Amino acid sequence: MKTSSPTLLPLLRSRLQGEVLAWVLLHPGEQPSLSEIAAAVGTTVPTVKREVDRFEEAGLVKSTVRGRNRTVTPTTDHPLYRPLAEVMALTFGPVGLLREALEQVSGIDDAFIHGSWAARYAQQPGAVPGDIDLLVIGTPDRDELFEAIEPVERTLRREVNYRAVTPEAWIADGGSFKATILARPLVHLIGNGDD
Protein backbone atom coordinates (compact mmCIF):
# COMPACT_ATOMS: atom_id res chain seq x y z
CA MET A 1 0.00 0.00 0.00
CA LYS A 2 1.45 3.35 -1.05
CA THR A 3 1.40 6.04 1.61
CA SER A 4 1.67 9.75 1.01
CA SER A 5 4.46 11.96 2.27
CA PRO A 6 3.82 13.19 5.80
CA THR A 7 2.48 16.73 6.12
CA LEU A 8 4.85 17.40 9.03
CA LEU A 9 7.91 16.81 6.83
CA PRO A 10 7.07 16.12 3.18
CA LEU A 11 10.70 15.25 2.39
CA LEU A 12 10.13 11.78 3.86
CA ARG A 13 8.39 8.84 2.23
CA SER A 14 6.03 8.15 5.13
CA ARG A 15 5.07 9.17 8.64
CA LEU A 16 6.39 5.84 9.92
CA GLN A 17 9.81 6.55 8.42
CA GLY A 18 9.81 9.86 10.29
CA GLU A 19 8.80 8.22 13.55
CA VAL A 20 11.53 5.58 13.33
CA LEU A 21 14.22 8.09 12.36
CA ALA A 22 13.15 10.54 15.07
CA TRP A 23 13.11 7.84 17.73
CA VAL A 24 16.62 6.64 16.88
CA LEU A 25 18.16 10.11 16.45
CA LEU A 26 16.61 11.49 19.64
CA HIS A 27 18.04 8.66 21.78
CA PRO A 28 21.77 9.05 21.12
CA GLY A 29 22.91 7.54 24.42
CA GLU A 30 20.89 4.36 24.00
CA GLN A 31 21.26 1.20 21.92
CA PRO A 32 17.69 0.00 21.40
CA SER A 33 16.94 -3.25 19.64
CA LEU A 34 14.79 -3.35 16.53
CA SER A 35 11.94 -4.80 18.62
CA GLU A 36 12.23 -1.94 21.16
CA ILE A 37 12.05 0.61 18.36
CA ALA A 38 9.08 -1.21 16.82
CA ALA A 39 7.24 -1.19 20.16
CA ALA A 40 8.05 2.49 20.72
CA VAL A 41 6.64 3.62 17.37
CA GLY A 42 3.86 1.04 17.08
CA THR A 43 4.96 -1.01 14.09
CA THR A 44 6.53 -4.35 13.22
CA VAL A 45 10.16 -5.42 13.48
CA PRO A 46 10.46 -6.10 9.71
CA THR A 47 9.28 -2.55 8.99
CA VAL A 48 11.80 -1.09 11.41
CA LYS A 49 14.51 -3.33 9.92
CA ARG A 50 13.82 -1.96 6.41
CA GLU A 51 14.05 1.64 7.63
CA VAL A 52 17.16 1.00 9.74
CA ASP A 53 18.81 -0.72 6.76
CA ARG A 54 18.22 2.45 4.69
CA PHE A 55 19.50 4.73 7.46
CA GLU A 56 22.57 2.56 7.95
CA GLU A 57 23.30 2.51 4.22
CA ALA A 58 23.26 6.33 4.33
CA GLY A 59 25.59 6.31 7.35
CA LEU A 60 23.03 7.92 9.66
CA VAL A 61 22.98 4.98 12.11
CA LYS A 62 25.19 2.09 13.15
CA SER A 63 23.93 -1.29 14.19
CA THR A 64 25.44 -4.12 16.18
CA VAL A 65 24.30 -7.73 16.23
CA ARG A 66 24.46 -9.38 19.63
CA GLY A 67 23.18 -12.91 19.53
CA ARG A 68 19.76 -12.69 17.93
CA ASN A 69 19.33 -8.98 18.69
CA ARG A 70 20.31 -6.11 16.47
CA THR A 71 20.80 -2.83 18.30
CA VAL A 72 20.90 0.61 16.70
CA THR A 73 22.58 3.87 17.59
CA PRO A 74 22.76 7.15 15.67
CA THR A 75 26.05 8.10 14.06
CA THR A 76 26.52 11.25 16.11
CA ASP A 77 29.70 12.25 14.28
CA HIS A 78 27.93 12.20 10.89
CA PRO A 79 27.79 15.76 9.47
CA LEU A 80 23.99 15.55 9.17
CA TYR A 81 23.35 14.21 12.67
CA ARG A 82 22.84 17.52 14.51
CA PRO A 83 20.71 19.30 11.91
CA LEU A 84 18.72 16.16 11.14
CA ALA A 85 18.12 15.41 14.83
CA GLU A 86 16.88 18.97 15.27
CA VAL A 87 14.52 18.70 12.30
CA MET A 88 13.23 15.34 13.55
CA ALA A 89 12.67 16.75 17.05
CA LEU A 90 10.66 19.63 15.63
CA THR A 91 8.56 17.46 13.32
CA PHE A 92 8.19 13.93 14.71
CA GLY A 93 9.67 14.40 18.18
CA PRO A 94 6.55 15.40 20.12
CA VAL A 95 4.94 11.94 20.18
CA GLY A 96 7.92 9.98 21.44
CA LEU A 97 9.33 12.67 23.71
CA LEU A 98 6.01 13.49 25.37
CA ARG A 99 5.08 9.81 25.69
CA GLU A 100 8.36 9.05 27.47
CA ALA A 101 8.05 12.09 29.73
CA LEU A 102 4.43 11.43 30.69
CA GLU A 103 5.03 7.73 31.41
CA GLN A 104 7.17 8.92 34.34
CA VAL A 105 4.31 10.93 35.88
CA SER A 106 1.92 9.07 38.16
CA GLY A 107 -1.81 9.75 38.13
CA ILE A 108 -2.29 10.10 34.36
CA ASP A 109 -5.16 8.04 32.94
CA ASP A 110 -4.88 9.29 29.36
CA ALA A 111 -2.92 11.90 27.44
CA PHE A 112 -3.46 13.24 23.92
CA ILE A 113 -1.90 15.80 21.62
CA HIS A 114 -4.65 17.87 19.98
CA GLY A 115 -4.86 21.07 17.96
CA SER A 116 -2.84 22.05 14.91
CA TRP A 117 0.09 19.68 15.52
CA ALA A 118 -2.29 16.70 15.75
CA ALA A 119 -3.99 17.91 12.56
CA ARG A 120 -0.67 17.98 10.65
CA TYR A 121 0.16 14.53 12.07
CA ALA A 122 -3.18 13.32 10.72
CA GLN A 123 -2.18 14.64 7.27
CA GLN A 124 -4.44 17.70 7.36
CA PRO A 125 -2.81 20.57 5.46
CA GLY A 126 -1.93 23.80 7.17
CA ALA A 127 0.86 25.94 8.57
CA VAL A 128 3.67 24.50 10.65
CA PRO A 129 2.39 24.48 14.25
CA GLY A 130 4.03 26.96 16.59
CA ASP A 131 3.21 25.02 19.73
CA ILE A 132 1.93 21.66 20.96
CA ASP A 133 -1.48 21.33 22.64
CA LEU A 134 -1.63 18.56 25.23
CA LEU A 135 -4.63 17.19 27.12
CA VAL A 136 -3.94 15.17 30.26
CA ILE A 137 -6.82 13.29 31.86
CA GLY A 138 -6.14 12.17 35.41
CA THR A 139 -4.92 13.46 38.73
CA PRO A 140 -1.17 14.02 38.27
CA ASP A 141 0.78 16.22 40.64
CA ARG A 142 0.94 19.60 38.84
CA ASP A 143 4.59 20.19 39.76
CA GLU A 144 5.58 16.70 38.59
CA LEU A 145 3.73 17.26 35.32
CA PHE A 146 5.44 20.62 34.78
CA GLU A 147 8.87 19.11 35.54
CA ALA A 148 8.26 16.31 33.03
CA ILE A 149 7.13 18.64 30.24
CA GLU A 150 9.71 21.41 30.67
CA PRO A 151 12.71 19.47 29.20
CA VAL A 152 10.53 18.35 26.27
CA GLU A 153 9.76 22.00 25.51
CA ARG A 154 13.49 22.77 25.45
CA THR A 155 14.19 19.88 23.08
CA LEU A 156 11.28 20.77 20.81
CA ARG A 157 12.06 24.48 21.05
CA ARG A 158 8.37 25.20 21.29
CA GLU A 159 5.83 25.59 24.02
CA VAL A 160 3.73 22.65 25.18
CA ASN A 161 0.36 24.05 26.27
CA TYR A 162 -1.13 21.47 28.57
CA ARG A 163 -4.44 21.21 30.28
CA ALA A 164 -5.02 18.63 32.99
CA VAL A 165 -8.57 17.59 33.86
CA THR A 166 -9.81 14.97 36.29
CA PRO A 167 -11.56 11.93 34.80
CA GLU A 168 -14.80 13.03 36.46
CA ALA A 169 -14.58 16.54 35.01
CA TRP A 170 -13.80 15.12 31.55
CA ILE A 171 -16.79 12.75 31.64
CA ALA A 172 -19.12 15.48 32.92
CA ASP A 173 -17.86 18.13 30.45
CA GLY A 174 -20.69 18.98 28.09
CA GLY A 175 -19.16 22.23 26.90
CA SER A 176 -17.41 23.50 23.84
CA PHE A 177 -13.86 22.59 25.01
CA LYS A 178 -14.51 18.85 24.95
CA ALA A 179 -16.66 19.06 21.81
CA THR A 180 -13.92 20.97 19.97
CA ILE A 181 -11.20 18.54 21.01
CA LEU A 182 -13.21 15.45 20.08
CA ALA A 183 -14.21 16.91 16.70
CA ARG A 184 -10.58 17.21 15.58
CA PRO A 185 -7.65 14.80 15.29
CA LEU A 186 -6.10 13.44 18.47
CA VAL A 187 -2.75 11.73 18.88
CA HIS A 188 -2.94 9.28 21.76
CA LEU A 189 0.16 9.22 23.94
CA ILE A 190 -0.54 7.08 27.01
CA GLY A 191 -3.48 5.37 28.71
CA ASN A 192 -6.30 3.34 27.25
CA GLY A 193 -7.23 5.92 24.61
CA ASP A 194 -10.92 6.19 25.46
CA ASP A 195 -12.39 9.62 24.76
Q: What is the pLDDT of residues 169-188, one digit of tens each?
A: 999 988 888 999 999 999 99
**CA nearest neighbour of 9 among 75, 78, 72, 84:** 84
Task: Report percent pLDDT > 70 for the chain.
Answer: 93
Among residues 91, 119, 140, which one ends one of the domains? Answer: 91
Give a yes or no: residue 9 inside a domain: no
Question: pLDDT grade, residue 3 (50/70/90)?
Answer: low
Is there a single domain that holds both residue 146 and residue 86?
no
Give a yes or no: residue 39 inside a domain: yes
pLDDT tens digits along 88-118: 888 888 988 899 899 999 999 999 999 999 9
Range of the domain at 107: 95-191
Enter the pTM of the model: 0.80
Is there a single domain that holds both residue 85 and residue 144?
no
The enclosing H or E element of 103 equals helix 93-103
Q: Residue 2: its pLDDT value, please?
A: 54
Is there a single domain that holds both residue 103 and residue 181?
yes
Q: Residue 186: its pLDDT value, please?
A: 95
How many whole angstroms separate alpha carbon 185 and alpha carbon 192?
Answer: 17
